[in-house]
Structure 1
Amino acid sequence: MKKAFSIICLLALGTSLLAGCGNNNTEANKSSTEASQNTSNKAETVDPNAKYDPQLNISIDFQVADAMAKDFKEADWPNNLWNQTYRDKYGINLNASWFCKGNDLCSQKKSVAIASANIPDIMTVSIDQLAVLSKTNMIRTDLKEVYDSYASDLTKSVVGEAGAAPWDSATFDGKVLAIPQVDSSIDTASFLWIRQDWLDKLGLKVPTNMEDLYTVMKAFKEQDPDGNGKADTYGLMLNKDFLNPGLAEALGIFNGFHASPDIWVRDSSGKLAFGSVQPEMKDALTYLNKMYKDGLIETDFGAKDSAKASELAASGKVGIEYGAMWNGMYPLQQTKDNFKDSNWMAFALASNDDQPAKPQIKLNVRGYYVVKKDFDHPEALIKMLNLFTEANRGPDKEMYDKFFGPDGPGQHPTAFQEWAAKKNLTAHLNVTEALKSGDTSKLNSEEQGYYDNIKKYQAGDNTQAQFEKVFGETGSFRIMNEYDQNNLFQLDQFYGAPTDTMKSRMDTIKKTEIEYFTKVIMGADSIDNFDKFVSNLNGMGLTQITNEVNEWDAAKK
């Protein structure tokens, strides 16, 4: 299924590759015909593919992805396929001033470099670090003009799939200080996963509203859908961190009541408001409390993380869960492994009224590319991004296989990446078209892998059900396509750097929030105390945070 399905490991979602450090070649900087100081007139004169002569040396820092940490060898890095291609195609030679492993360690190294005013020529930073840099004189402020001049149409298309929000998030005082490293936000959306075989056995229809969903969950609890004669099944799989997207969560239930916890939404006046304290939350919490009282959720869900909660799926004891598109692979493939006639299917979120539920998502930016102020060739960054999008999303199958195929270096050895927001949706559409037509000539190696595994499943190999359940004609991406076509995604409307009060108060606010919600669900606290809960959060700093968020919102307009 191609390791490029990296967003899954969004489970792990932590495999972002950040850039690294070294030294620039002053002579090359002076002699190159592509001096970028005069960006205003470049649109008509630049050659995005021009090669530096003499060679341009660029310092970066390099974060080794967790998936590669075991086998990564620093001595091999300078001559990997990406770095060789940068030299051969563009005359760009990268020098890593340091390698680091682990997000915390790498973030610390970058912060030290910023604090000491000793950053590399090109570096990838977090939104917090970008905010710090915005108050210094260390980085270039003309990157958007450079990007507009040098980015290929394909790169602009890939980055453009994420919309304007990534650029807004990189903008401070009206200046774009960084190139956002985009990834897919839509792939974190929630789906309603149901055991279709249990529906069929009990003669039930797929629920489209919250009332029918409750009826189905109650039947799954009380009508012995697994046929073992025991009262040992549950309606919903839920974990203690149910506000976190991904697996065994409750975001889909909140969204079904048009509530949006833990993200910022627009209120009736057009101002930004924190979704967790809006009135719609009360109906969703009441619904979950009723489920708990009726035994549709495990009584000890509050002590189980997502991995522990997912054991219900492996044991065939649950019929419904809310989670991301990749749940068809993990953990729901485990149900198929243990119960060959099981049949999990993804459906759109149920709604409590005649309006569709909107799955909430957050802006997914892996990092921000910044360029040192006295580095004269910011366009070199754009060239390397162009190479990545050309290899990853271009029409040349041989080039894709060279860089991303089974024998290629994969996605990890380069720091310079831009991932299309609809990459996996596009793969689904391409694969299902090939399944209908039988023509696989247009599939890249990743898509071909999905296609081949789906055909194996259709031929009786149940271990490959996961590929059908995600990328196939009955997979979760058929619903993702509906979400996309109907513009249903509810994007978190705050995507700037954490405000001052957020940094000191938000963790405590969210801890208080999850404690109260959990108590309400389990009956240890009352929904009648919701207004008191809101007042408590406001006093803890939420009012000030809301003011700061709206100041940010006003400034970007």
Structure 2
Amino acid sequence: MKNDRKKRILSAQLVLILLMILWCGTCFESKESQRQMEQSDASQSESGAGEAAEGKRKQMYEAMHTPLGKYPETVTYTLGKIAGANNSNLPVGNTYENNAYTRYLKKVLNIKNADVFELQDGNTYEEAVNVAIEDRDIPDVLVVKGRDNLLRLIEAGMIEDLTETYEECTTDTIKEMYDSYGDSLLQSATVDGKLYAFPNTVIDDGAPLLWLRKDWIEKLGLKEPETVEEALEIVRAFVEQDAAGDGQTIGLACSTDVIAGADQTYGVDSAFIHAGAMPCHWILDESGDVVYGSVTQETKEALSKLRNLYEDGILDQRFLLRKTENIDNLLKTGHCGAIYGRWWAPNNPLSAAYSVDSNAEWKPYLLDKEQVNETQKISVFESYDQWMYVVVRKGYEHPEIVAKYVSAIFDQSRYANDASAREVNDYFSINVDPTARPLNINVDYEDALYRTTEHIQAALDKTLDVSELSGLEKSYYDTCKSFLNGQLTTANGWAAYASRIEAVGELQKAGIRSAQTLPLENVNAEIPQELQELENEAFLQIISGEKPVDYFDTFVVEWYANGGKELTEQVQNAYESGKD
């Protein structure tokens, strides 16, 4: 019995030992399996992290070396921002750091701007830029005005060489745009074969037009004009018959600047163009010599005609006292029915008048087309004294960002029919000022104005399928069509149609193009302030009758004696050396 009991105990012990051995083995296998699994997971995690890192590196490389490659992480660049009046007419709630342009750039490129300062173009902005240059503390990206400031930055070694990034990070379309202006534009930003900036492009705006209140013409039972003389008689009738109806109708509006140029309002540039004159520009005369356009006999003739208009009451009798804001108010209150303006005058200043009185029917007239065409054939020098250039701070890790910006905003959004750019293109048709863009430049074909209008008109005429329009053209087409159908009655709708279709259409029919330009390099051709003031004072005195017309000859003598002679010789020498 004892032996049997011992045997049973021993057997139980052996079973227990065997079970323990089996259990330990299982535990060992389980731990080993777990260890192997953990090692496998770690290996896979490391492998995944490595693949993700490699993917990010590839994406970053592509972003830095292609026009539209998107950065894997948001790139923020500091910016000196040129602001516009009235917050650039941005929709309510939009800012310079959060608007259609910035949202599009964030989506397409994953970049955003952080504005160091936001100041209006003019003395305030230029002073801020000058201080930044003197302190050698410029933001990552900056728009500078004038080639002289660009050269300052290059000589100080403060900005990046953008030669390579231009080649790699601008689209073929952007390159075509710059090429449409010839070699001189990019050359103005090039020193020793290196490109240091992206220049603004100034598309052909054509000649200024005379904008008249057509509803007043009809009200007074007059015939629409076909010549300048007929148009001026209409303006006389506006004044003499008091078209405004309260005894306060003024004549042709005129700024004290007299020559408004391509980007200002209320000048009387057309009076000079019709006389064959090109004041405020360096030009080639009939002998092929350089002359300043403000001292020619053609300019004297134009001033004589303006003097007669003033004496006859056709030119605003109080123009010497008017500021821009005052003339704006005269348009809004319906006391002025005649201004000279470019094709974009409906956007600014006429849209404000239309908002007050939509029955005020402003119509553009291009008169004496043959003389305008002849004057536009005069060769005009471009010295890039007032040109806009975008530069990148030396040492900034993403100098390519400017090239990518230009490619996205001026090619992808405009010409690639990118559906996500609809909000950007709608800004044009609702009259948002271009200063709303982070960088206040424009890059487009030299003849972009004409080809765009041609396409829009063709789509309205149903000779071109709407699907063939670019994003910008489609936006204008929709607005113009809605305006014509009576579905859109806002000032912006009228302005889009009146500018793009009516005004540009007049220029197209007449084949009017801007004057021929010649590059003028290696010389400071800017007119000194003293000579500018001498010129402006003489012009105003002659037009207002304070001085006789022949005083112009005295002005010319004084102009040459006070530095004009030496300046003309310098420009002539620069022109001659540039021909070699």
* Letter in structure 2 aligned against 1:133: L
Distance 1:155 1:149 in 2: 12
Q: Does 1:434 align with 2:463?
A: no
* Letter in structure 2 aligned against 1:454: F
Please give the residue correspondences for 1:226-245 in structure 2 after superposition, counting only pairs within 5 Å.
Answer: 226=243, 233-245=249-261
**Counterpart of 2:45?**
none
* CA displacement at 1:458 relative to structure 2: 8.1
The normalised TM-score by structure 1 is 0.74
* CA displacement at 1:435 relative to structure 2: 2.5
**Counterpart of 1:303?**
321
Q: Does 1:469 align with 2:498?
A: yes
Picking from 480, 490, 506, the partner of 2:515 is 490
Query: CA 1:237/1:74 → structure 2, altered by over 3 Å: closer, same or farther?
Result: closer
**Counterpart of 2:365?**
347
* Letter in structure 2 aligned against 1:303: L
Q: Does 1:369 align with 2:390?
A: yes
SS in 2 for 1:527: coil
**Counterpart of 2:29?**
none
SS in 1 for 2:226: coil
Q: CA RMSD in A?
A: 4.5
Please give the residue correspondences for 1:55-454 in structure 2 after superposition, counting only pairs within 5 Å.
Answer: 60-63=78-81, 65-66=83-84, 67=87, 81-82=103-104, 84-85=106-107, 88=110, 96=114, 98-103=116-121, 104=123, 106-119=125-138, 122-127=141-146, 128-141=148-161, 143-144=162-163, 146-172=165-191, 175-182=194-201, 184-187=202-205, 189-199=207-217, 201-208=220-227, 210-222=228-240, 224=241, 226=243, 233-245=249-261, 246-332=264-350, 342-350=360-368, 356-358=374-376, 367-372=388-393, 378-401=399-422, 403-405=424-426, 412=436, 414-415=438-439, 418-420=442-444, 425-437=450-462, 440-441=466-467, 442=469, 444=471, 446-454=475-483
Give aligned pairs, total.
503
* CA displacement at 1:31 relative to structure 2: 12
8 Å CA contact retained: 2:355, 2:491: yes
* CA displacement at 1:120 relative to structure 2: 5.2
Picking from 500, 505, 515, the partner of 1:478 is 505
Distance 2:540 2:306 in 1: 10
* CA displacement at 1:400 relative to structure 2: 1.8
Gaps of 5+ in 2: 1-55
Comparing 62-71 and 299-308, the one that deviates more: 62-71
Query: CA 1:96/1:280 → structure 2, altered by over 3 Å: closer, same or farther?
Result: same
8 Å CA contact retained: 1:187, 1:325: yes
Query: CA 1:436/1:284 → structure 2, altered by over 3 Å: closer, same or farther?
Result: same
Distance 1:410 1:337 in 2: 17
8 Å CA contact retained: 1:457, 1:468: no
8 Å CA contact retained: 1:198, 1:225: no
> Residues 250-295 of structure 1: CA distance to partner in whole angstroms, max 9, x if unpaired?
1011111111111221123434321111110111111111111111
Query: CA 1:101/1:290 → structure 2, altered by over 3 Å: closer, same or farther?
Result: closer
8 Å CA contact retained: 1:520, 1:526: yes
* CA displacement at 1:535 relative to structure 2: 1.2
Distance 1:387 1:252 in 2: 37
8 Å CA contact retained: 1:64, 1:100: yes
Query: CA 1:181/1:292 → structure 2, altered by over 3 Å: closer, same or farther?
Result: closer
* Letter in structure 2 aligned against 1:506: P
Query: CA 1:269/1:225 → structure 2, altered by over 3 Å: closer, same or farther?
Result: same
**Counterpart of 1:546?**
568
Gaps of 5+ in 1: 1-27, 37-45
Distance 1:393 1:275 in 2: 37
Picking from 535, 558, 569, the partner of 1:536 is 558
Query: CA 1:416/1:165 → structure 2, altered by over 3 Å: closer, same or farther?
Result: same
Distance 1:449 1:218 in 2: 38
* CA displacement at 1:135 relative to structure 2: 2.6
Please give the residue correspondences for 1:499-538 in structure 2 after superposition, counting only pairs within 5 Å.
Answer: 499=524, 502=526, 506-538=528-560
> Residues 349-375 of structure 1: CA distance to partner in whole angstroms, max 9, x if unpaired?
436959645399987986323345556
* CA displacement at 1:299 relative to structure 2: 1.9
* CA displacement at 1:32 relative to structure 2: 7.3
Distance 1:340 1:72 in 2: 27
Identity of matched residues, %: 22
Query: CA 1:332/1:81 → structure 2, altered by over 3 Å: closer, same or farther?
Result: closer
* CA displacement at 1:140 relative to structure 2: 4.3
Distance 1:342 1:364 in 2: 39
Query: CA 1:72/1:62 → structure 2, altered by over 3 Å: closer, same or farther?
Result: farther
* CA displacement at 1:176 relative to structure 2: 3.6
Distance 2:433 2:255 in 1: 33
Distance 1:98 1:337 in 2: 35
Query: CA 1:427/1:365 → structure 2, altered by over 3 Å: closer, same or farther?
Result: farther
**Counterpart of 2:14?**
none
Larger radius of gyration between Structure 1 and Structure 2: 2
Query: CA 1:84/1:347 → structure 2, altered by over 3 Å: closer, same or farther?
Result: same
SS in 2 for 1:543: helix
SS in 1 for 2:528: helix
Distance 1:335 1:205 in 2: 21
* Letter in structure 1 aligned against 2:556: V
* Letter in structure 1 aligned against 2:314: L
* CA displacement at 1:149 relative to structure 2: 4.3
